[in-house]
Amino acid sequence: MPILRAGPWGNLTDSFQDVPGDVTVDELTLYPVNCAKTDWLSGQAWGAYYEVEESGCNGPETITATSLVFGSIQLTKQAGDGCTYYWVSPYGPFSGGEAYIIFAGIGPWVYEQSLSYAPFDTSVGGTDPDDPTGTYAGFFNTYTVTTP
């Protein structure tokens, strides 16, 4: 069965357009229709491609962190944008403790440790939104965050 394609350039209102004069992202209102990312015809190379990148954090599902009170703990990525990791003591946050490692979109990763909902140490790590691992410097200590 043949694959019908419009283009090679177009948008929702007009699917048959020539290659735009300016293909920088800020000026682009027409997009290549070539799904295969190969030449349109033999000898006719594509001059540009339009790609979509995922937003948010794309780090690992779990990380392991050293903590001041609880030794080595394993934090799990929370649902949503993936920029928050959480651990809670088996006794619960009120009678045990909890830990968060959060990336707010700007600045460094922040590691907060709490006992009975009261934060007792906040430390900072790297700035790569996809990599929460590394050394975190806190008031009381330095902490290491790795993948399990």
pLDDT at residue 34 is higher than 80: no
Residue 67 is predicted with a pLDDT of: 93
46-86 pLDDT, tens digit each: 555 555 555 568 889 999 999 988 899 999 999 876 799 99
124-139 pLDDT, tens digit each: 999 998 999 999 998 8
Residue with tokens 């339009």: 50
In terms of DSSP bridges, do strands 9-10 and 110-115 run parallel, antiparallel, or are they unpaired?
A: unpaired
pLDDT at residue 2 is higher than 70: no
Residue in 27, 2, 133 with CA at minimum distance from that of residue 75:
133
Range 30-50 average pLDDT: 57
Residue 92 is predicted with a pLDDT of: 86
Residue 79 is predicted with a pLDDT of: 84
Domain ranges for the chain, please list them.
1-52, 62-146
Residue 80 is predicted with a pLDDT of: 78
| Cα(146)–Cα(134) distance, integer angstroms | 7
| Cα(23)–Cα(12) distance, integer angstroms | 17
Can you give the pTM of this predicted structure? 0.62
